[in-house]
Amino acid sequence: MKNKKTVLVTGSSRGIGREIAKLFAEDDYNVVINYNNSEDEAIQLLNELNSKNLSARIFKADISKIEEANALVNYTIGQFEKIDVLINNAGISKFNLFTDISYDEWHEVMNVNLNSVFYVTKKALQYMLPELQGKIINISSIWGIVGASNEVHYSASKAALLGMTKALAKELGPSNIQVNAIAPGVIQTDMLNDVSDETLEILKYETPLMRIGKPSDIAKCALFLASDGGDFMTGQVISSNGGFVIN
Ligand code: NAP
């Protein structure tokens, strides 16, 4: 257990994070699955991985709260002694006209999507920096690159993650810690539950690869960035989006 690499994946009870946790466990990592509300899903994933003799733990933490974010990192260290890879994945989206966004909603989106990344990363670095190695992967979004109407708060939080990724990469490079971002396109998860079938069809039509993404598309990118293949990459944004956004 201790000679394996350890990955902490925030928000891995469902969707993209869940797929990342699975893929890393199958790749022989110790995996800490973090959930907040979806306890049943997290337990089900844990059982699935344990039944295959894969190394995984679950921990409940609302990472938008500093104490819970710290507890998540401490739990990971308590279980596996180190964090080799941190994947800041947990996020929420809200759909509202800018003029209708309440102060509470604005702060909720910023707390979950952005401030939590500061909290978890700051704590994890206490343990990663002395090792002089490690990889941090932030899950942003294409909307952080191009902006989404009716999702100004979401877009702003995801754009901020890109700035954070680039700046932190410069600061941590001399310590041999790579910081990169993945900016997914439209990916089939619960986050799309409120998007109509008609809108999904339009999005598909506007995507050169003619399909909506799968959580596994993003998980594979994360596994690559965490691997030796990502050793000379830092401060970069990989956008797995089917060609929907081409810079
Ligand atoms: P999802 O299916 O809604 O899953 C979100 C995950 O985040 C859940 O596991 C949820 O845990 C967790 N989470 C939410 N708030 C949390 C909190 N306060 N503390 C801890 N965990 C929390 O969403 P998804 O589509 O997989 O999204 C994952 C990431 O990809 C997000 O950052 C999202 O912005 C980004 N992304 C998604 C898309 C897309 O089209 N799906 C596109 C671009 C970027 P619980 O259910 O246990 O609370």
pLDDT digits 0-9 by tens, 105-146: 999 999 999 999 999 999 999 999 999 999 999 999 999 999
Instruction: Please tell me the predicted confidence (pLDDT) of residue 2.
Output: 61
Asked if the model's pLDDT at residue 241 lies above 80, the reply is: yes
Ligand 1 center to 69 CA (angstroms): 16
- What is the value of pTM for the model shown? 0.98
Answer for the pair 35, 75: CB distance below 8 angstroms, yes or no. no
Q: What is the DSSP letter of 6?
A: E
Catalytic residue flag (residue 29):
no
The helix/strand count (H/E) of the chain reads as 9, 7
> Looking at ligand 1, which residue's alpha carbon is closest to its atom 19?
62
Confidence of residue 195 (pLDDT cuts 50, 70, 90): very high
For 93, list phi and psi in degrees, rounded to 5: -125, 150
Confidence of residue 240 (pLDDT cuts 50, 70, 90): very high
The residue-averaged pLDDT of 62-78 equals 99
Which residue type, as a one-letter code, is found at position 186? V
C-alpha torsion sign, points 230, 20, 59, 110? positive
| CATH 3.40.50.620 is right for the domain spanning 6-238 | no
- Residue 235, sorted as left (phi over 0), alpha (psi -120 to 50) or beta, turns out to be left
Ligand 1 center to 174 CA (angstroms): 31
Q: Is 37 in the pocket of ligand 1 (CB under 6 A)?
A: yes
Residue 37, both tokens: 């509300």
Among 221, 32, 36, 73, which Cα is nearest to 139's?
A: 221
pLDDT digits (tens, 9 = 90+) for 11-45: 999 999 999 999 999 999 999 999 999 999 999 99
- Using a 10 angstrom Cβ sphere, with 0-12 exposed, 13-18 middle and 19 or more buried, the burial of residue 181 is buried
Average model confidence (pLDDT) across the chain:
98
- Domain residues of the chain, as ranges? 6-238
Q: Is 112 in the pocket of ligand 1 (CB under 6 A)?
A: yes
Confidence of residue 86 (pLDDT cuts 50, 70, 90): very high
The residue-averaged pLDDT of 77-99 equals 98
Q: Is 194 in the pocket of ligand 1 (CB under 6 A)?
A: no
